[in-house]
Amino acid sequence: MRLAPDMNARFLPAAAGAPDAQPDGPLPSAPELAGLVRASAPIGLPAHLQAVPGTLVSCRLPTRFGEFDLHGLQDPQTGAEHAAMSLGRLGDGEPVLTRLHSECLTGDTLYSLKCDCGAQLEGGLAAIAQAGRGLLLYLRQEGRGIGLVNKIRAYALQQAGADTVEANRLLGLPDDARDYSIAVTLLGQLGIRRVRLLTNNPAKVEALQRLGIEVVERLPLHMPQNPHNQAYLQTKSRRMGHYGPDEPV
């Protein structure tokens, strides 16, 4: 009989492969690690490498923007896995340049021109790298929280002439279903209580402040428009209150 893999242990290979990225405790020695691999069991791993829901695991991640620390956390309530990328020392009490980025498979991975998500992801990482210190939270809230399949359904309605708000409502879905409480959990585990937030969305500022995070500054993150996303971006500004490129910070 073929057994299904333990999905709660999915973070372990990445963490175990980055011996320089664990400030909270020592990694196994090479012989110890080899023994664990042969045993195919996580028994004996340090506590900070155990795949426990709600507990942060970390490794180093080289990118074309620089070398970041990659952190992962499984939400104990929903089972969703969220990520963060940090650069520099963050827990010193000083405000941290922060980007809250919601997952967008079409924009982040499939190069869609219907939104500005992929460009904002890259722009956020570039801004953090230029500052030499900061944090990008990558929250698994596809399609403003409605999920990938519903997002594709909404895209089909947009293709027929609806805007992004109308499409969601025609499907009986909220304009924005995102919940930022997991972002506060991630910030807390990284020792961050004060942020300089990279966003055009006032709802993100309000959500963090309501959840106890001090937003000391909002910084715009506008990307060039194209013929495929121009109407979408205008709708976000006109109907969802997002700041446009010509509005004051």
**Residue 70 pLDDT > 50:** yes
Helices (H), the chain: 12-16, 30-39, 117-131, 142-145, 148-159, 164-170, 181-189, 202-210, 230-240
CA-to-CA distance for 59 and 121, rounded, in angstroms? 20
User: Which one is catalytic: 99, 144, 153, 178?
Assistant: 178
Q: For the chain, what percent of residues have pLDDT higher than 70?
A: 78
Read off the pLDDT of residues 19-34 as tens digits, 9 standing for 90 and up. Answer: 343 445 566 676 666 6
CA-to-CA distance for 236 and 232, rounded, in angstroms? 6
Cβ atoms < 10 Å from Cβ of 27: 19
> Given this model, what pLDDT does residue 21 score?
39
User: Which one is catalytic: 176, 179, 193, 194?
Assistant: 176
Answer yes or no: 89 catalytic.
no
Answer yes or no: 2 catalytic.
no
**Residue 91 pLDDT > 80:** yes
54-141+178-240, CATH topology level:
Rossmann fold (3.40.50)
The phi, psi pair for 17, rounded to 5°, reads -90, 5
> Given this model, what pLDDT does residue 49 score?
63
Closest of 49, 53, 200, 29 to residue 123, by C-alpha: 200
- Least confident piece of the model among 18-22, 45-49, 66-70, 238-242: 18-22
The structural domains of the chain, with segments of one domain joined by +, span: 9-51, 54-141+178-240
